[in-house]
Structure 1
Amino acid sequence: MLELPNIPTLGLCSTLSSLAFFGVFACLWVGRRDETYFLHWAAGSLIYAAGVPSFNYLAHTPLQIGMLYGGLSASTLAVLTGVRRFDGRAPFRPWMLLPILASGLGYILPALAFSPDSAAPRIGGTFGSLLSMAIVGGALAFGRGSPPSRGRRIAGAALLAYIPGFLAAIAAEAVGGTATNMAALIPLVSDQVLLAVLNLGLIAMPGERAQAALREAALRDPLTGAWNRAGLAALAPRLLHSGTAVIALDVDHFKAINDRHGHAVGDRVLVAVAACAQAVVPEPEAGLVRLGGDEFVLLVSERSPAEARWLADEIRHAVARVDDLPARTISLGIAAVEPGETDFAAAIERADRSLYRAKAQGRDRAAA
């Protein structure tokens, strides 16, 4: 006959693993005090580490056990509050109390209605834990983060992978036939693999974000924040299609501004031009590229020639309205990506020719 694993031993393993990850998250926070999401994940690990042995040694009444079930759900919700803090959002929302209450009351009410020793309370508490796993796992695995993160997806998948075990535990408790507490056994068995996967996924998230920031920094102009020539290719998946408007622009008599007011003032003018263009049509609808010096090109998805002309005039007027800078104007040339083009080069060349026509016509205007 197959001998089932020992629940206290499995519980000890889960406790030690959670304590280890609590230490990791706490140490990471000590080194990076502004990254408070580590505190949320550390708190979740500590709550779980304290809750698992408490079922065996501290809980004796339905209220105490119900509170422990609620605590286990709270430890799962701490994963989500940490991720929300990681994303720069408010970590706690009032609805997060619902799965915690569902876990606690899911045990307490059946225990009072039937018997604390019956399967019904354990089924109710387990269902509340399942609900927490589904909510948090679904939010991580299928929600949108910035930047996209494999670590986030891995952590979400680990939480969702608990669900079949919870369903099996509920079914085993409902069927009965064994003296073993299957509502405790099966989740603890799942812990031995999934707890590490969950926490390693969370640990990977800050590193992934740092790598994404470095990759993007290499593709951005450090002065204006616009894409550089190397970053132009990064815009292709989003903007390289027929009908994308291509607006070339530069500052009229920019060398004279530098010569008369100094390069620091010239840099401020470039920053203002980029800010105005990005304000008129922000990402991801558009992409602003600094080609070099005072030369920019703005790529705007799905704009008719008339709409592109209107946008060009809006940018020109916005640049002229900027205060605390020397008088400045810009000229713009308008073109579009044609069907069958595999890069932006030809469209930029056409927009550049239009820009020179605008210069020849007297500057401070747009030409197409």
Structure 2
Amino acid sequence: MFELPDVATLRQCSILCSAAYAVVFFAMGAGGAWYRYWGWGAFSYCASLILTGLIGEPLPLWMLVLTDAVLSFSMALVLAGVRRFDGQPAFVPWMWVVVGITAIVPSAVLTLVGTGAIAAAVWSATMAISSFALALPLIRNRATDGTARPRRLAGCLLSLYAPVYLTVAISALATQQLVQLLEAIPYLADQLLFGAANLALLWIPTARAQRELRDMALRDPLTGLWNRAALAAGAAKLLVPGRVALLIDVDRFKAINDCHGHAVGDAVLVAIATALQRGVGGDFVARLGGDEFLVVTDADDPASAAERLRLRAGRGEAGLPPWSLSVGGARIEAGDRSIDEVIQRADLLMYRAKDDGRTSAAA
């Protein structure tokens, strides 16, 4: 018949697991301060388990306060590391409040009623509330840097300690036989939740790095706009009937480079890119190469949209030579099979604008 390991053995497994992750995080500390926060979190959890095992139960009051504080602080350090990863202060006041309550409330109950089922239940319930409170910001995160999923996963795994501790709280009020059976639950949970949560934390920096590498491949290095690779990757999403593709070309851009130098020419392109982004908000804006840009946006009238964009992005900027733009606008039709077909129509209209004397728009 299968038998669960005794609590002492399970505690030793949890100590070894947390110590191993502490070593890993500290070894990666040069990669960012957040690794050190996570390392101290794993170390603190390890320390709380060691203290509990060395002193034995029931714990003296001072040891109960210290152990509870260290245990709650270990979870707070996980959230603190994520906040440092985001460039925010590691701790905010409410986090200290949670840690303080976790340490003070059980010790106050122990002082009033002494050791027993009620004190054990209060301790477990307080730890459940603490673990959920510190995991909730990770679960509810709205990160846009590609790290939302690993943050949410880490938060969900840590929040699962809440029902674990609640189970222990309920069992503390049950029969002594049930208490002995269920007191191993937190340590059993450690074998799955602790390791998985730390792996999710390691995933966070990796996910951001992957997003940054992908964006680098899809971004124009000079202007920061999307490039042709991004256009190809998102072509299917852009091909929405009723939208408008606007092709923009800088008139006589070679003359700007020849007269003022390529550094000034680059500055002109950056100024135009900035104006295009401001003009269309969240729509697709790309530099197709050289002095040619593409905007895909919603508009009732392609000609009016092209003229507005020409005026907005062609008004010049202090300290730079004047420039003008030619814009061609083509509506995406239901029968278009690719975005390239729409761009070709916009291209013809853009050159028609140039033939009409440049500094103009056509649709």
Tell me which interval the TM-score lies in, with the shorter structure as reference length.
0.7 to 0.9
Other-structure match for 1:356 = 351
**1:178-189 superposed matches below 5 A:** 178=177, 185-189=184-188
Other-structure match for 1:194 = 193
Alpha-carbon distance change, 310 to 62 in structure 1, aligned in 2, over 3 angstroms: farther
After TM superposition, what 4+ stretches of structure 1 lie above 6 angstroms from structure 2? Answer: none
1:251 shift after superposition: 0.8
Whole-angstrom CA distance in 2 between matches of 1:134 and 1:83 = 16
Other-structure match for 2:95 = 96
State which of 328, 331, 338 in structure 1 corresponds to 2:333: 338
Alpha-carbon distance change, 2 to 255 in structure 1, aligned in 2, over 3 angstroms: closer
What is the one-letter code of the residue matched to 1:40? Y
State which of 296, 300, 306 in structure 2 corresponds to 1:304: 300
Preserved CA contact (<8 Å) 2:306 2:328: no
Matched, 1:7 2:2: no
Other-structure match for 1:128 = 126
What is the one-letter code of the residue matched to 1:76? M
What is the one-letter code of the residue matched to 2:79? L
1:133 shift after superposition: 3.0
Other-structure match for 2:270 = 271
Other-structure match for 1:209 = 208
1:159 shift after superposition: 1.6
Alpha-carbon distance change, 254 to 170 in structure 1, aligned in 2, over 3 angstroms: same
What is the one-letter code of the residue matched to 2:34? Y
1:233 shift after superposition: 3.5
Other-structure match for 1:140 = 138
Alpha-carbon distance change, 120 to 251 in structure 1, aligned in 2, over 3 angstroms: same
Other-structure match for 2:290 = 293
**1:19-168 superposed matches below 5 A:** 19-30=19-30, 32=31, 35-58=32-55, 60-115=59-114, 117-149=115-147, 150-168=149-167
Alpha-carbon distance change, 231 to 161 in structure 1, aligned in 2, over 3 angstroms: same
Other-structure match for 1:176 = 175
**1:215-230 superposed matches below 5 A:** 215-230=214-229
Preserved CA contact (<8 Å) 2:127 2:162: no
Moved more, 191-200 or 49-58: 49-58
Alpha-carbon distance change, 315 to 107 in structure 1, aligned in 2, over 3 angstroms: farther
Preserved CA contact (<8 Å) 2:332 2:342: yes
Alpha-carbon distance change, 339 to 91 in structure 1, aligned in 2, over 3 angstroms: farther
Preserved CA contact (<8 Å) 2:306 2:329: no
1:177 shift after superposition: 2.4
1:199 shift after superposition: 1.0
1:15 shift after superposition: 1.9
Secondary structure of the corresponding residue to residue 175 of structure 1: coil
Secondary structure of the corresponding residue to residue 320 of structure 1: coil
Moved more, 224-233 or 346-355: 346-355
Moved more, 130-139 or 285-294: 130-139
Whole-angstrom CA distance in 2 between matches of 1:337 and 1:128 = 59
Calculate the aligned-residue CA RMSD, in Å.
2.9
Secondary structure of the corresponding residue to residue 359 of structure 2: coil
Whole-angstrom CA distance in 1 between matches of 2:137 and 2:270 = 38
1:13 shift after superposition: 2.1
TM-score (norm 1): 0.86
Whole-angstrom CA distance in 1 between matches of 2:201 and 2:68 = 23
1:180 shift after superposition: 5.0
Alpha-carbon distance change, 133 to 239 in structure 1, aligned in 2, over 3 angstroms: farther
Preserved CA contact (<8 Å) 1:103 1:126: no
Gaps of 5+ in 1: none
What is the one-letter code of the residue matched to 1:43? W
**1:244-255 superposed matches below 5 A:** 244-255=243-254
TM-score (norm 2): 0.87
Gaps of 5+ in 2: none
1:82 shift after superposition: 1.4
Moved more, 141-150 or 118-127: 141-150
1:172 shift after superposition: 1.3
Preserved CA contact (<8 Å) 1:331 1:363: yes
Secondary structure of the corresponding residue to residue 178 of structure 1: helix
Whole-angstrom CA distance in 2 between matches of 1:218 and 1:365 = 33
Whole-angstrom CA distance in 2 between matches of 1:267 and 1:40 = 42
Whole-angstrom CA distance in 1 between matches of 2:310 and 2:13 = 62
Alpha-carbon distance change, 79 to 236 in structure 1, aligned in 2, over 3 angstroms: farther
Preserved CA contact (<8 Å) 2:172 2:179: no
Moved more, 308-317 or 123-132: 308-317
1:297 shift after superposition: 0.4
What is the one-letter code of the residue matched to 1:21? Y
Preserved CA contact (<8 Å) 2:286 2:293: yes
State which of 315, 336, 348 in structure 2 corresponds to 1:320: 315
Whole-angstrom CA distance in 2 between matches of 1:309 and 1:260 = 33
1:73 shift after superposition: 1.9
